Structure 1
Amino acid sequence: MTAAWLERAALHYLERYSASTEMLRRTLRRRVEKRTRARGEEAGAFAPLVEETVARAVRAGLVDDARFTAARLATLRRRGASARGAAAKLAAKGVPRDTIEAAMEAEREAAPEGEPALAEEAAALAYAKRRRLGPFRRPDARAVNRDRDLAALARAGFPYDLARRTVDAEGEAGRDDEGAGGFS
């Protein structure tokens, strides 16, 4: 196992995936462990080599936690992740807490004047639409499933007041009838 082999492994991974520094580190450690296990070697001996490879990737600009966090946060919010849920998912990817907070602050600053809560409301609506909750549920099943829908939004990390407003929204907010449910 050489520095060149590790660098090729890192480049192969980064060609396919956007990654945080910690994600790259974990991936390289797994690769080293797998290879050393097969050869009967000690994986701990290669830890400095992994760290140097990660440091080179950071210096070269191939890995940037701030860029990764901003892009991943935008994707998660479009898919309907709450601020709390998105922060937890980013933390699980090994992104430092201060980087997550900076990305969240940038999102709030990018919101229209006086409307920082719009991102959270849009995320709640996107989550409800994706899961077919509240206004996106069949009209005859809305009342029966109201508590279940509120619980789903709460588990996703949305505050109760926002969950209630989302579930109780009038009409079929943006629902398209084609492909909205079942077979025709």
Structure 2
Amino acid sequence: MNADRRPPKPLDPALLEQLALRYVERFATTQGKLTDYLTRKLRERGWAGERPADAAGLAARMAERGYVDDRAYAEAKAASLARRGLGARRVQQALHAARVGAEDSEALAGQVAENARDAALAFARRRRIGPFGDGAADRAVREKQFAAMMRAGHAPGLARRIVAAGPGELFEEEF
């Protein structure tokens, strides 16, 4: 690191708002994640404003203006994770980590549950599990496949049925 480099200028209200605007224009985010980002920047750079900094208030103003929408973020994130083959438990964990509120998270629970079967089949297809495998798997392989499906957040019953299905056995109406 360069020894003669000056430390960054402390933030004031205008700079803090500028940082927030730049963040929301670059990233899909939630109010909670924006608050965390602004708090971290305040901790790193310091504060030069007259009143105490209010990162949460600024994030709320960004949400009021429509720059941050927790529900839209949650819907997009849930759909993306389902396409990747992750189950309901993993989707809920990701939404919690992104600081999506309980109300928005619960509103998506029905949609996530509806897509559980398709997500599990997408995961099985990607990992060549059960009906998408290339041969009959022995018990140890099936246990590993079941464990992988559980780590991906799928329900135990659904994971067992998919892992137990032989190559090409899967019928759409079964699951």
What TM-score comes out, normalization by structure 1 length?
Answer: 0.75
Contact 1:32 1:46 in 2 (8 A): no
Q: Is the 8 A contact 2:133 2:167 kept in 1?
A: no
1:17 aligns with 2:27: yes
In structure 2, what is the Cα distance between the partners aligned to 1:54 and 1:5? 14
- Map residues 72-91 of structure 1 onto 2, 5 A cutoff: 72-91=77-96
> Match of 1:125?
121
Structure 2 residue aligned with 1:164: 160
Report percent identity of matched pairs.
35
Q: Which runs of 4+ in 1 moved over 3 A?
A: 135-138
Matches of 2:126 and 2:135 in 1, distance apart?
17
Q: CA RMSD for the aligned pairs?
A: 2.4
C-alpha deviation, 1:173, in angstroms: 8.1
Alignment of 1:1-184 (within 5 A): 1-36=11-46, 46-48=52-54, 50-105=55-110, 107=111, 117=114, 119-139=115-135, 142-143=137-138, 144-171=140-167
Contact residue 154 and residue 163 of structure 1 kept, 8 A: yes
Q: Post-superposition shift, 1:77?
A: 1.1
Residue type at the aligned position of 1:121: R
State the partner residue of 1:179.
none
Whether contact under 8 Å (2:16, 2:38) holds in the other structure is yes
Q: Go from structure 1 to structure 2 and tell me whether the alpha carbon gap of 1:169 and 1:47 turns closer, same or farther (over 3 Å shift).
A: farther
Gaps of 5+ in 2: 1-10, 171-175
Change (3 A) 1:28 1:131: farther
Q: Which 5+ residue runs of structure 1 have no aligned equivalent?
A: 109-115, 175-184
Q: Structure 2: how far apart are the matches of 1:146 and 1:83?
A: 22
TM-score by length of 2: 0.79
Q: How far did 1:98 drift?
A: 1.7
